Amino acid sequence: EEEEEENLSEETKSSISSLPWEIDYLGNKLFKYQGYWYYEDILQAIPNFHKSFQPQETDIIVAAFPKSGTTWLKALTFALIQRSKHPLEEDNHPLLSHNPHEIVPYLELDLYLKSSKPDLTKFLSSSLSPRLFSTHMSLDALKAPLKESSCKIVYVCRNVKDVLVSLWHFLNANKGVEWGDFSQSEKISGVDDHSFEAMFESFCNGVTLYGPFEDHALSYWQGSLEDPKHVLFMMYEEFKAEPRTQVKRLAEFLDCPFTKEEEDSGSVDKILELCSLSNLSSLEINKTGTLDGVDFKTYFRKGQVGDWKSYMTPEMVNKIDMIIEEKLKGSGLKF
């Protein structure tokens, strides 16, 4: 059995070396696979996931491009679907003692990265029913094993300029962290100054982990139009502007709408408060905890809409807006 995994990985490795590649703003080699850019180790996780993931009818997957509100969506979705097992007012609610990333695993980063038979019981959300997973992969990369299943996918999208600013802060706050297991691809040293300009250019060219951003967003947007019962497309900005409406929309999509009694007893607000940036970031676990070298506190910053205005020149704004407009033309998607 072990040998089989070994072979798969050798086979994958040799096919990886024939893919187009670029060096990203961190000095890491990114490979382009079926339209999207990945580090080598994540590329090995995708075939593992495709080959071995066995969806259950009730599975839920929360998806986002990095820095679009993944942590928030993980927390909200977990709190929503487990509210009968874990009442929101419970003193020992799992979200009070665990970071959302410890509860809800990434399919490609936590589960299938090194294994085709991951231990799902290692994470709370994948060992309960309904099972809850997450991913940064595009819908194009995610959907193959889900074809015949009725599982539900929730995507949160965010303004690309705020995503870029958020990512820049996150990478700067985690400078010592290695973002991949680079066995065959040498790490180019000396790129430790995470220049905003360099990141901006990469975003404009689409060459960024899991990018291009617009294709990523469009994959879920189109998925939600084609199959609205199974793919829900949400916007971070809408969540900020009208959290009660959006969390109710999420609950309805997940077939666990708030009852009249719940609404009357303030459950909607309780969920929002439990998962709020101010609450989560003030918890001891999120102030001091770490996972794979990343301090949990770096997942919580400002959560401000339009923070990009303090970072981008008018020329930058113009350039990226034009690119986005061109890519989204005719799709009906706007952000």
The 27-66 contact track toward ligand A3P, x by CB under 6 A, reads -------------------------------------x-x
93 flagged as catalytic: no
Q: Binding residue for ligand A3P (CB under 6 A) from 25, 36, 72, 253?
A: 72
The closest of 120, 128, 146 to 57, measured between CA atoms, is 146
Question: Is 246 a binder of ligand A3P (CB under 6 A)?
Answer: no
Integer CA distances (angstroms), 12 to 16, 19, 231, 295, in order: 6, 11, 30, 32
Candidate segments 40-48, 249-257, 294-302, 311-319, binder of ligand A3P by CB under 6 A = 294-302
Q: Which residues pair with 153 in a beta bridge?
A: 61, 231
Question: Is 301 a binder of ligand A3P (CB under 6 A)?
Answer: yes
Q: Binding residue for ligand A3P (CB under 6 A) from 60, 69, 94, 194?
A: 69
Q: Binding residue for ligand A3P (CB under 6 A) from 174, 222, 265, 276?
A: 276
Look at the chain and count its residues: 335
Question: Looking at beta carbons only, is 43 or 167 nearer to ligand A3P?
Answer: 167
Degrees (nearest 5) of the Cα angle 211, 189, 192? 65
Among 101, 136, 169, 216, the one annotated catalytic? 136
Question: Looking at beta carbons only, is 117 or 287 nearer to ligand A3P?
Answer: 287
The number of CA neighbours under 13 Å toward the Cβ of 222 is: 12
Question: Is 83 a binder of ligand A3P (CB under 6 A)?
Answer: no
Question: Looking at beta carbons only, is 152 or 169 nearer to ligand A3P?
Answer: 169
Q: Is the dihedral of CA 167, 171, 177, 183 positive or negative?
A: positive
Q: What residues from 306 to 335 belong to the interface with ligand A3P (CB under 6 A)?
A: 307
Candidate segments 81-89, 253-261, 289-297, 299-307, binder of ligand A3P by CB under 6 A = 299-307
Candidate segments 54-62, 88-96, 179-187, 272-280, binder of ligand A3P by CB under 6 A = 272-280
What gap in Å lies between CA 317 and CA 308, rounded to an integer? 9
Q: Is the dihedral of CA 156, 160, 162, 163 positive or negative?
A: positive
What gap in Å lies between CA 232 and CA 21, rounded to an integer? 32
Q: Where are the beta strands (DSSP E) in the chain?
A: 21-23, 29-33, 36-38, 60-64, 132-135, 152-157, 231-235, 290-291, 294-295
CB of 103 to ligand A3P, least distance (A): 13
Integer CA distances (angstroms), 129 to 59, 125, 175, 189, 250, in order: 8, 8, 37, 45, 18
Question: Looking at beta carbons only, is 171 or 323 nearer to ligand A3P?
Answer: 171
Q: What residues from 107 to 166 belong to the interface with ligand A3P (CB under 6 A)?
A: 162, 166
**Tokens encoding 266:** 């303030």
Q: Binding residue for ligand A3P (CB under 6 A) from 303, 316, 333, 335?
A: 303
Q: Binding residue for ligand A3P (CB under 6 A) from 146, 177, 277, 283?
A: 277
What gap in Å lies between CA 111 and CA 46, rounded to an integer? 11
Question: Looking at beta carbons only, is 185 or 236 nearer to ligand A3P?
Answer: 236
What gap in Å lies between CA 179 and CA 184, rounded to an integer? 14
**Tokens encoding 95:** 């979200």
Question: Is 302 a binder of ligand A3P (CB under 6 A)?
Answer: yes
Q: Binding residue for ligand A3P (CB under 6 A) from 49, 133, 299, 335?
A: 299
Q: Which residues of the shown chain bind ligand A3P in the complex (CB under 6 A)?
A: 64, 66-72, 162, 166, 169, 275-277, 280, 299-303, 307
Report the catalytic residues.
136
